[in-house]
């Protein structure tokens, strides 16, 4: 379950805008 959560978090972060 933990790794599934990590995967999700990584996925969410990957879609966020990078710092300008």
Partner 1 sequence: PTPPYLKWAESLHSLLDDQEGIQLFRGFLRQEGCGDQLDFWFACSGFRKSSQEKRPKLAKAIYRKYIQDSNGIVSRQIKPATKSFIRDCVVRLHLDPAMFQQAQTEIQSTMEENTYPLFLKSDSYLEYT
User: Contact positions toward partner 1, by CB under 8 A?
Assistant: 4-5, 7-8, 10-17, 19-20
Q: What is residue 16's DSSP assignment?
A: S
**In the complex, minimum distance from the CB of residue 6 to partner 1, in angstroms, rounded to a whole number:** 9
**In the complex, minimum distance from the CB of residue 17 to partner 1, in angstroms, rounded to a whole number:** 5
Which contacts of 5-10 are long-range, i.e. CB under 8 A and separated by 24 or more positions?
A: none
Which distant-in-sequence residues (6+ apart) come within 8 Å of 4 by Cβ? none
**In the complex, minimum distance from the CB of residue 5 to partner 1, in angstroms, rounded to a whole number:** 8
């Amino acid at each position: 379950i933990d790794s599934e959560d990590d995967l999700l978090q990584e996925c969410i972060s990957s879609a966020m805008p990078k710092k300008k």
